[in-house]
Structure 1
Amino acid sequence: MKRSQLVREIVEILALTLLIFLVVRFVIQSYRVDGPSMEPGLVNNEFVMVNKVSYLFHEPARGDVIVFHWPQDTTKDFIKRIVGLPGDTITTDRDHVTVNGKTLNEPYISAPSNPEGRTWKVPAGEYFVMGDNRPVSDDSRSWGFVPKDYIVGKASVVFWPLPNLHFINTYPDVFKDIPAHK
């Protein structure tokens, strides 16, 4: 093999490696779960794979677990479940969450817990998110809505530690019969 041919092949391999790295970096991202707010489904120090292009093709949906820039300090990222879409009316009492008049049966939460009964109307272009571990979750109930532009992507797979490998359940049956917002 000629030296120039070898150099060319090395350059091609490096260019292809760089291209693959860049594509993967812009399409997926890993995120480390920090804290207990998403237990029991996601636990502290698990790593999830975040699909960063998912919402280029469709809008976020109720039940999606998303990673987003925290509206109070955009240098920090949080992970929570979308409960309310733009235009929805969310109502809480001590033990229940109601979306557009339908009370949710939430099998994914650790325990029902809302600090106060309250009602929110989700503005256009924003989302209402809640952690699954309601007694300890810092979420839309305390600091408000998540603008769509702050969403990093949809968390789809827990990949580390390896024994915890699983797809993240969005519980579509919980949200399927919610009436359109008024």
Structure 2
Amino acid sequence: MESKIKEVLFDWIKTIVIAVILSLAVRTYVAEAKWIPSESMLPTLKVGDHLIIDKLFYKLNGTRGINRGDIVVFNPPESADLNEKVLIKRVIGLPGETISIKGGLVYINGKQLDEPYILEKPNTDFAPFMVPDNELFVMGDNRNNSYDSRFWGPVSLANIIGKAEFRYYPINEIGTLAPKV
């Protein structure tokens, strides 16, 4: 009887240890849940939204996998001087592109960017800036209430954690976060 209890207990412990290891591996290398703490991505993402972040896609595809309009989670550059460990913003400029803002409109290489996802047009201009190799220019959708690349510069591709793919909370807004460009 005692050996049977030990066997069942050992099976339970083994199952729990395997589950914890698998969970940590998935969270570290494949996908992770995050929640939105600020209004910088309004109206696309609201405070309290819960998302699934795909960590594997960019690792497998490198820069080929990053597109304008993607919503990315990243470690902020040191120049941002923030307490936050991670940020979430929309990719606006890719390596080699020149970004500028004039009269409330964003331009990529001199062509106006159609931005149906923003809350309101930016109320300040931004002088032309060429995005360096291996970096991205990111901005929040709430342009007048977002601390982003306009203030602290581009984000190194090495700082990218993953791509926001899916909102699972609130229930009435469950769905994918496909780029809207």
TM-score (ref. length: structure 2): 0.86
2:104–2:124 contact (8 Å) kept in structure 1: no
| Secondary structure of 2:95 counterpart | coil
Q: Tell me, yes or no, if the aligned pair for 1:91 and 1:99 is still in contact at 8 Å.
A: yes
C-alpha separation in 1, matches of 2:159 and 2:172: 31
User: Where in structure 1 are there 5+ consecutive unaligned residues?
Assistant: 175-182
> Retained in 2: the 8 A contact 1:94–1:117?
no
Equivalent in the alignment of 2:102: 93
73-82 vs 59-68, which moves further: 73-82
Whole-angstrom CA distance in 1 between matches of 2:152 and 2:93? 14
Alpha-carbon separation, structure 1, partners of 2:38 and 2:138: 16
Q: Aligned equivalents of 1:75 and 1:111: distance in 2?
A: 27
Residue 70 in structure 1 maps to residue 53 in structure 2: no
1:50 aligns with 2:59: no
Q: How many residues align?
A: 172
Q: Distance in 1 between matches of 2:6 and 2:100?
A: 69
Percent identity reads: 35
What amino acid is the match of 2:76? W
Q: Which amino acid aligns with 1:20?
A: L
| Alpha-carbon distance, 1:15 to partner | 2.8
Q: CA deviation digits over 1:50-71, x for unaligned, max 9?
A: 1122211122221110111121
* RMSD (CA atoms): 1.8
CA–CA distance in structure 2, aligned partners of residues 52 and 100 of structure 1 = 29
| TM-score where L is the length of structure 1 | 0.86
The letter for the 2-side match of 1:87 is G
Match of 1:132 in 2: 141
What whole-Å deviation, never above 9, does each CA across 1:93-148 have from its counterpart, x for those lacking one? Answer: 02211112321111111111141241110011110001111121211112111111
Q: What residue number does 1:61 align with?
A: 67
5+ residue gaps, structure 2, are: none
Q: Distance in 1 between matches of 2:154 and 2:125?
A: 17
| Contact 1:68/1:150 (<8 A) preserved | yes
Corresponding residue of 2:155: 146
Q: Which residue of structure 2 lines up, in the alignment, with residue 180 of structure 1?
A: none
Matched-pair contact (CA < 8 Å) for 1:92–1:114: no
Q: 1:21 aligns with which of 6, 9, 23?
A: 23
Quickly say closer, same or farther: Cα 1:117–1:22, change in 2 above 3 A: closer
